[in-house]
Amino acid sequence: MTYEFKYTIDGEKVSEKEFLKLSRAQKNKGVPNLSRSDHWRQHESIGLACHPLQAKEFNERAKKAGLTGIHYRESDGMAIVTSRGQMKKELKHRGFHNNDDIS
């Protein structure tokens, strides 16, 4: 038994060469690669969040530790981090480890 591979894009049959060319061009289009620093954007961390009543204290601790890229929102305690480097420094400062980080 042989299998015939058919390549389609938006319902139209295309050659394998066309399919591979277009699929490579569309690969991860619009999806940031967080492993690259140039794709990192401001990040809201639930894992680093604190109770809203503690946000002011956590902001003061971060400032004393020299962590300028992290801020705790006082409305909900969410940690706002501006870079991966600042995230790693805050994790180390608080004694946490991120098992999901690839670096």
Q: Return averaged pLDDT per consecutive 10 residues of the chain, 103 residues in all.
A: 63 76 61 50 85 95 90 92 86 85 61
Taking residue 60's Cβ as centre, other Cβ atoms within 10 Å add up to 11
**pTM > 0.85:** no
Q: Which contacts (CB < 8 Å, 24+ apart) does range 53-56 have?
A: none
What is the reported pLDDT for 24? 63
Residue 26 confidence (pLDDT): 60
